[in-house]
Amino acid sequence: MREELAGSPEWREDRERARSVLAARQDRSRAFFSASADRWDALRGDLYGARADLLPLFGLLEPDWVVGDLGCGTGQLAAALAPFVARVVAVDRSPEMLAAARDRLAGLDNVELREGELEALPLEDATLGLAVVSLVLHFVGSPGEALAEAARVLAPGGRLVVVDMRPHGREGYREEMGHVWPGFSGERLLGWMEDAGLEGARVHPIPPDPQAKGPLLFVAHARRPMAGGPDGGGRLESKRPALNR
């Protein structure tokens, strides 16, 4: 029956009409983008939010992961992660920050807030599939200890992601905002990651944001080895790009 209909004149006419409609829509789409190129970023931000470009990255998250937002501040990142994973454990040393995070995260029943230091995380061993330390390591007195703690709470194969500042000369940040470290070189950060027993460590400079007024940033990532590891000792050779240029 289907083959008979496919060969009928009516079916061929309907197919041609459909093709014509689709072609007209594609023409309108091309015309729209041609006319909107200079304002597309603002238009897309209005439609989908300022962080629309980051949305595809959430597809890399596993839905059964427990994620640690280590140094969570007011909970902005935890709120973004929560819809995509099983649970988020958000840790901060400041009761005031945690209070603000509690207000922001109200209604998200898969986010747990805990008070604690990054150098002594209030988490059991091997509990996280992903640990994120975003723009907080420069506040920590012993970053190497903090990264070792992050490695401790990662499950085998779990990943650590660090976002922070590249080296800078803005000494006023120490007094104005309590910064302990004036950014980090890639060499130093990757050394700490390797000392923590993590493997596959990499650092990537983040391109400058024209709207940003602060120092340049980087993102670094590494993973806790699976049992046995690729070389029997659970380590891979890391490339150490300098970020102080």
Q: Mind listing the pLDDT tens digit for each residue in 168-219?
A: 988 888 888 888 999 999 999 999 999 999 999 999 999 988 888 889 999 9
What's the pLDDT tens digit per position in 19-35? Answer: 777 777 676 666 655 66
At 244, the pLDDT band (50, 70, 90 cuts) reads very low
Give the pLDDT of residue 15.
Answer: 74
Is the confidence at residue 49, as pLDDT, over 50?
yes
As given in the structure block, the two tokens for residue 152 are 């401790």
- What is the pTM for the complete model shown? 0.77
**Closest alpha carbon to 129 in 94, 96, 149, 153:** 153
Write the CA distances from 103 to 74, 98, 108, 205, integer angstroms: 9, 9, 10, 33
Q: What is the largest CA-CA distance in the chain?
A: 81
Domain residue limits, the chain? 2-46, 51-223
CA atoms of 204 and 53, how far apart (whole Å) = 18
Place of tokens 């937002």: 69
Q: CB under 8 Å to 218, separation ≥6 — which residues?
A: 163, 164, 165, 166, 184, 186, 189, 203, 204, 205, 206, 243
pLDDT of 3 reads: 54
Could you please state the CATH topology (level 3) that the domain comprising 51-223 is classified under: Rossmann fold (3.40.50)
